[in-house]
């Protein structure tokens, strides 16, 4: 392993701990685009890490030159291969093993995203506010009298899973199990390898979704899954395999990241008491604080790998057709060429752009929903629990690391 490989390894293995930012700063000093030799999915593709905003935008805004689907270049799809390595091909597809908008580019991407993009408009998301508010209040009602809670288990985790499940029509009694599968899958994905049990969890998640679809075919309801089934039954716009992949993607993407934002964001505020005080004094700052929390230490560490469709150049580096290009979100979000004092948390910062929700055609579909949820979650928490404090010493806080994201296992607080 060379120097940059070691740095990357220490971040993704969790070895560098909760604060990988000094490593990212070193990587930025090495270059905007640095070679690493991590093999993924058993292949020895050359891989590159993109550490700065400008080059990240060049990659993400040009899906013709940098595709998410390597099989369109050389017939092999590293990510899918890794995930399907020991999966049963007869199992119902999920977005890990099948095709979803996340893993294809145009024209399929436009077709698949177009089927749900009308549901995820900021206007529609705004209309969900009363429901999200009610959920947030109910969760805090349960713990208010105790004077303490685990902010992850009691608040940050249940809020988003219930919101997305309501939208999709996932029955109440199944949500805890779905959460367990998603968690296990997220934590079991590693660079080029799967932890034991992940293939089984992916299979169970796919089978559960296929049963849910079969059930909704018989008993359609006023929910997004029923709407997607109607589209699939209409004809050639959505196949059954794509339907299953889409639903698993929406469930998975719709909650893990948002709960990480709420939990990690709360801890970041507790770490910066002067910012927390400023926010409590003026809750109209919450939307701007949410953008800064996303930038400062948002849930995703990297974006899904892209692959060069042609020999090309990026910041002086010669990228060969087929090379893997990985955008390091958390590094670009602290790029000193983009932000003044990027290592400071400043909830009043005017942010033009950040990468926490991606950029380009794959930019987060659920961004308007995540923003509404985070806005309500922080506002409600700070209004109802203005004396929020950690219940354990700061260095006992438990982090969890996955390949693409970082979050908290729990967060004991008193209020
Ligand atoms: C704070 C919460 C969230 C964060 C940090 C987040 C982050 C991201 C990022 C970084 C991407 C781009 C991935 C890439 O380019 O490789 C993405 C895509 C996506 N996100 Fe989110 N997300 C969040 C919440 C949600 C929610 C609530 C949903 C709701 C269903 C959602 C659904 C999706 C989907 C479907 C895509 C794929 C879009 C495409 O490929 O066109 N996300 N998200």
Residue 224 is part of a domain; what is its CATH number? Answer: 1.10.630.10
Phi, psi of 317 (to 5 degrees): -90, 140
Could you tell me the residue range of the domain that residue 117 belongs to? Answer: 3-414
Atom of ligand 1 nearest to the CA of 103: 40
Longest dimension (CA), the chain: 62
Instruction: Collect the ranges in the chain with pLDDT lower than 70.
Output: 1, 38-44, 76-89, 188-195, 403-404
Q: Is 128 in the pocket of ligand 1 (CB under 6 A)?
A: no
Euclidean distance between CA atoms 69 and 243, whole angstroms? 19
Cα of 397 vs centre of ligand 1, distance in Å, is 26
- Report the domain count for the chain: 1
Beta bridge partners of 189: 194
| Burial class (CB within 10 angstroms; exposed 0-12, middle 13-18, buried 19+) of 123 | exposed
pLDDT given for residue 372 in this prediction = 96
pLDDT given for residue 84 in this prediction = 57
Number of H helices, E strands in the chain: 19, 14
Q: Is 258 in the pocket of ligand 1 (CB under 6 A)?
A: yes
pLDDT given for residue 367 in this prediction = 95
Q: Which of 95, 164, 166, 257 to mutate to test the pocket of ligand 1 (most atoms within 8 A of CB)?
A: 257
């Amino acid at each position: 392993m060379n120097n940059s490989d070691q740095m990357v390894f220490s971040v993704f293995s969790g070895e560098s701990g909760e604060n990988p930012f000094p490593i990212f700063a070193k990587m930025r000093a090495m270059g905007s685009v640095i070679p690493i030799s991590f093999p993924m999915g058993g292949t020895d593709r050359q891989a590159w890490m993109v550490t700065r905003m400008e080059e990240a935008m060049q990659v993400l805004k040009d899906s013709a030159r940098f595709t998410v689907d390597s099989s369109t270049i050389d017939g092999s799809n590293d990510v899918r291969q890794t995930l399907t390595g020991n999966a049963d091909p007869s199992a119902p597809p999920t977005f890990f093993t099948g095709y979803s908008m996340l893993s294809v580019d145009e024209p399929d991407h436009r077709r698949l995203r177009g089927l749900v993009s009308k549901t995820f408009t900021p206007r529609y998301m705004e209309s969900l506010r009363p429901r999200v508010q009610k959920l947030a209040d109910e969760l805090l009602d349960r713990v208010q009298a105790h004077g303490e809670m685990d902010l992850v288990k009691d608040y940050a985790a249940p809020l988003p899973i219930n919101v997305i499940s309501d939208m999709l029509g996932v029955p109440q009694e199944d949500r805890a199990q779905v959460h367990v599968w998603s968690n296990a899958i997220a934590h079991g994905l590693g660079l080029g390898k799967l932890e034991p049990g992940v293939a089984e969890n992916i299979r169970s998640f796919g089978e559960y979704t296929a049963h849910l679809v079969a059930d909704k075919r018989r008993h359609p309801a006023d929910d997004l899954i029923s709407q997607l089934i109607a589209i699939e039954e209409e004809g050639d716009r959505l196949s059954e395999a794509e339907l299953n992949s889409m639903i698993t993607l929406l469930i998975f993407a719709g909650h893990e990241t948002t709960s990480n934002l709420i939990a990690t964001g709360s801890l970041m505020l507790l770490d910066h008491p002067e910012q927390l005080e400023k926010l409590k004094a003026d809750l109209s700052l919450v939307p701007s604080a949410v953008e800064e929390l996303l930038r400062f230490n948002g849930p995703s560490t990297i974006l899904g790998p892209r692959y060069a469709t042609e020999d090309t150049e990026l910041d002086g580096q010669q990228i060969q057709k087929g090379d893997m290009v990985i955008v390091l979100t958390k590094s670009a979000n602290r790029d000193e060429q983009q932000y003044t004092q990027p290592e400071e948390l400043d909830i009043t910062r005017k942010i033009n752009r950040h990468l926490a929700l991606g950029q380009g055609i794959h930019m987060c579909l659920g961004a308007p929903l995540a923003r509404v949820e985070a806005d309500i979650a922080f506002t409600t928490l700070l209004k109802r629990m203005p004396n929020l404090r950690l219940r354990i010493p700061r260095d006992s806080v438990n982090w969890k690391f996955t390949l693409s994201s970082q979050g908290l296992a729990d967060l004991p607080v008193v209020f």
